[in-house]
Structure 1
Amino acid sequence: MISASDDRRILAGHLALFVALYAGYGALSPFLPLFLDRRGLSAQEIVWLLAMATLVRMIAGPLAGRIADGRGRVRPILAGAAALAGLAAIAHLAVSGFAALLVVGLAYAMLTAPLAPFSDALALSASENGRRFAYGWVRGAGSAAFILATSLVGWLVAGFGIGAAIFVGGGLFAVAGLAAWVLPNGTVPSAENPTQRRGVSVVLANRRFRRVVLAASLVMGAHALHDAFAVILWSRNGISAGIAGLLWSEAVAAEILVFLVAGPWILARLEPGRAIALAAGAGALRWGIAAESVTLPALVAIQCLHGLTFALLHLACLKEIARCVPPDLTATALTLYGPLGLGLSSAVFTLASGPLFASFGASGFWVMSAASLAAVPLAMGLARNDPSHSDAGVHR
């Protein structure tokens, strides 16, 4: 039996990990392209570097997940990768020129690939065993830390230069590594039979897992047009940069609210498949309105839906993955779901968004609405087949 003090200790450990990790992302990610620009890279070189980093993450994430699951070493590998990612981040300050920055950038991409999925795997395992610990609490704290770090580092950059973002981000990744290393002991089971050692193939053969990834890829990918061109569209329609910033902050606030409160409440009442369908329906509504109106009241209303289209989707997908994938393959599944599945979807939808916006402007959001709507029947298919009625990991 886990005591209340054990629950608090476990929760505090995971909060420290998620806050440090997402603060590190918030400190570094928004400012890395500017740093590369200040180092003299051309726009084309920056695009190539970032694109190749994405490719490396898509390969390194599942590979790291399989190694961690096969050896039952999720926490130590997470701690080591986070600490080394911090060093790789700071190494950006010591080099210049495209070739050197590419080497450092790819090392940084490889080391950061498993950080979020492994943190999720540990938090999911701990929350299943603790009585007063919900995964959404620590993930919501991470989102809040990301925004706070981005804001504070913006001030530091203004006062001390762009290098401050790299240094602070690298330091926070190192802190995340320490937080992972000292986490209270939890269990992410290791492989116990030869079949489960074929981690990637077993997970990919799982029909329910493939359905989750496809549904999530459609809903998350549909954010691409908004992420790339919303501020440009708003600016063309008379919305100032200050108001645009507030609209983005509103979306993040809705995300945090769902992670902390609304999401766990919804998932206590809906099966994960139905919750994914709800997120997909919210996406179809959100992008449909975005296609037809750029008035401020409409934008304020639809930014609130980000809590459903992102946070609820994430919570529901992770809950469904935990139900349908063998526990000893959690890290493998989450790296396939995140860096590979959602990463590939984001890249494809982002590439499509440029021609869409150039040709149709705001009306291009109808394509994103249709993509979200296409995820609804996939999600409802999950809801019609409860995995508790069959052996987990054998859903063909």
Structure 2
Amino acid sequence: MAAPFTRQPRHGSLRKVTPAARHALLYAAQFFAFGVILPFLPAVLAGRGLDPAEVAAVLAAGSAVRLVAGPLGGRLADALSAPRAVLGLAAAAAALAASGFLLAAGFLLLLLVHVALSLAIAPIVPLSDAVTLGAIRRHSFDYGRVRAAGSVAFILAALLAGQAVALLGMDSAVVLIVLGLAGTAGAALLLPAGEPSGGPGAARGLSAFLAPLGIPPLRRLLVVSALIQGSHAFYYAFGTIHWQAAGLGAGLIGALWATGVVAEIALFLWGRGVVARLGPLGLSLLAAAMGVLRWGATALTTDPLLLFPLQILHAATFGAQHLATMQVLGRVVPPAQAGTAQALHASLGAGLSMGVMTLASGPLYAAFGGGGYWAMAVLCLAAVPATVALGRVLKG
């Protein structure tokens, strides 16, 4: 199997840039944008005059839009047999929509801008995964090492945006978001040509939209992903708040979050042998087991000496399950349905469960504080029999 990055001749042309490098650039550009959006978009909205309830309403509306827009974008890419083109157009439209934050003010206009951004941005990650898995079938590079470029870019973008906001103000965060999304559009244009999807013989209409759900392993995978990835909701929503209440400082909390992402990157970069040995079922079982351990222990302690090794388990709870997902989708989904399947999985297997569990996390934290992590551990425990069921379908 070819190495993901190979040395190129000094006088080589663009055609000699490896497919893996082009896909790594695609992930780096989009996750650069996400590395600014996730920590700073709420502050951008607040800086434009929205109160906390209005900020929450705008963000919630965007989440709801993405649940529908992602699968629609994936289906459009398959129907047109043009995933690269739809990906590039979506990224360009997202960059244009994000620039609206520089001009809009007031709840209604900011809501419209964010809805437009959410419509455009929803298919970007699923289509990126779809075209990357297709390229792997042809060029045999390592998905994990390519995807790691996105995680590295996410960290660098968050750090850069923090400095930019401190020096230049909140509008600089919007500029960085626009640049990341525009870069994603450019990177999509540089992707190597792939095999066509869809085509004259492909299903149309609602049947085509729902066709991937007729694949039994995909249906089982949706359940496993919903349980394991959804178990991160309490951590994402209340991890920082819980640690602040326990007296941990902002710098220490930031280091804890960074530890999880660095561990994820390490798995993506150097875990190829482990991933090959475990396969998708072993990876999902590892993610579920480590989720029980991680969330159960995090419910019991706020001691940094224990939290740092627990954060390393993010490589298993998120990273291992993500890699398992890509292996299953790459194995069972035909190319003609790749974009739709990836987007359906992003919406139903991760997005919907994350949204539901985030809503549930508020009452859980109010009632039990850090004890709410136990509910996340139960989700991971339930993922064990769900993964066994997935294994039976894959072998059948």
Q: Which whole-Å deviations, capped at 9, do the CAs of 1:113-170 have from their partners, x for residues lacking one?
A: 0001111111111112213x21111211101101101101110111111000001110
Give the Cα separation in 1 of the matches to 2:200 and 2:96.
35
2:12 corresponds in structure 1 to: none
2:11 corresponds in structure 1 to: none
Q: Mind listing any 5+ residue stretches in structure 2 that lack a counterpart? A: 9-14
Report the residue type matching 2:367 in the other structure.
S
2:160 corresponds in structure 1 to: 152
Give the Cα separation in 2 of the matches to 1:378 and 1:204.
17
Are the aligned partners of 1:121 and 1:188 in contact in 2 as well (CA < 8 Å)? no
1:281 corresponds in structure 2 to: 289
Q: Which of 21, 24, 48 is the equivalent residue of 2:30?
A: 21
1:179 corresponds in structure 2 to: 187
Give the Cα separation in 2 of the matches to 1:178 and 1:159.
28
Report the residue type matching 1:148 in the other structure.
L
Are the aligned partners of 2:291 and 2:380 in contact in 1 as well (CA < 8 Å)? yes
How far did residue 272 of structure 1 move? Answer: 0.8
Are the aligned partners of 1:82 and 1:173 in contact in 2 as well (CA < 8 Å)? yes
Q: Which of 305, 325, 348 is the equivalent residue of 1:297?
A: 305
Q: Which of 54, 62, 67 is the equivalent residue of 1:58?
A: 67
2:244 corresponds in structure 1 to: 235
Give the Cα separation in 1 of the matches to 2:204 and 2:110.
39
Equivalent residues in 2 for 1:252-263 (5 A)? 252-262=261-271
Structure 2 SS opposite 1:193: coil
The reply on whether 1:370 has 2:389 as its aligned counterpart is no
Are the aligned partners of 1:157 and 1:164 in contact in 2 as well (CA < 8 Å)? yes
Alignment CA distance shift 1:363-1:29 (3 Å): closer
Give the Cα separation in 1 of the matches to 2:53 and 2:243.
26
The reply on whether 1:315 has 2:290 as its aligned counterpart is no
Alignment CA distance shift 1:225-1:325 (3 Å): same
Alignment CA distance shift 1:346-1:188 (3 Å): farther
1:394 corresponds in structure 2 to: none
The reply on whether 1:165 has 2:180 as its aligned counterpart is no
Q: Which whole-Å deviations, capped at 9, do the CAs of 1:161-195 have from their partners, x for residues lacking one?
A: 10000011101211110110121212252245254
Give the Cα separation in 1 of the matches to 2:301 and 2:30.
37
251-260 or 294-303: bigger deviation: 294-303
How far did residue 200 of structure 1 move? Answer: 2.4
Q: Which of 112, 117, 123 is the equivalent residue of 2:126?
A: 117
2:364 corresponds in structure 1 to: 356
The reply on whether 1:94 has 2:120 as its aligned counterpart is no
Q: Mind listing any 5+ residue stretches in structure 1 that lack a counterpart? A: 390-396
1:82 corresponds in structure 2 to: 91
Structure 1 SS opposite 2:64: helix
Are the aligned partners of 1:273 and 1:381 in contact in 2 as well (CA < 8 Å)? no
Structure 2 SS opposite 1:187: coil
How far did residue 7 of structure 1 move? Answer: 8.4
Report the residue type matching 1:129 in the other structure.
R
Report the residue type matching 1:118 in the other structure.
L
Alignment CA distance shift 1:278-1:151 (3 Å): same
Give the Cα separation in 2 of the matches to 1:27 and 1:194.
38
Runs of 4+ in structure 1 over 6 Å off: 1-7
Give the Cα separation in 2 of the matches to 1:70 and 1:208.
23
Q: Which of 20, 28, 52 is the equivalent residue of 1:43?
A: 52
Structure 2 SS opposite 1:166: helix
Are the aligned partners of 2:148 and 2:268 in contact in 1 as well (CA < 8 Å)? yes
Give the Cα separation in 2 of the matches to 1:229 and 1:28.
18
Report the residue type matching 2:266 in the other structure.
L
Q: Which of 1, 4, 21 is the equivalent residue of 1:12?
A: 21
How far did residue 43 of structure 1 move? Answer: 1.3
1:249 corresponds in structure 2 to: 258
Normalising by structure 2, report the TM-score: 0.93
Structure 2 SS opposite 1:247: helix
Report the residue type matching 2:269 in the other structure.
L
Report the residue type matching 1:187 in the other structure.
E
Q: Which whole-Å deviations, capped at 9, do the CAs of 1:53-85 have from their partners, x for residues lacking one?
A: 111111111011111111211000101110111
Are the aligned partners of 1:284 and 1:370 in contact in 2 as well (CA < 8 Å)? yes
Are the aligned partners of 2:49 and 2:106 in contact in 1 as well (CA < 8 Å)? yes
Give the Cα separation in 2 of the matches to 1:59 and 1:306.
28
Structure 1 SS opposite 2:302: coil
RMSD: 1.9
Size of the alignment, in residue pairs? 386
1:393 corresponds in structure 2 to: none
Report the residue type matching 1:216 in the other structure.
S
The reply on whether 1:221 has 2:230 as its aligned counterpart is yes
How far did residue 27 of structure 1 move? Answer: 2.3
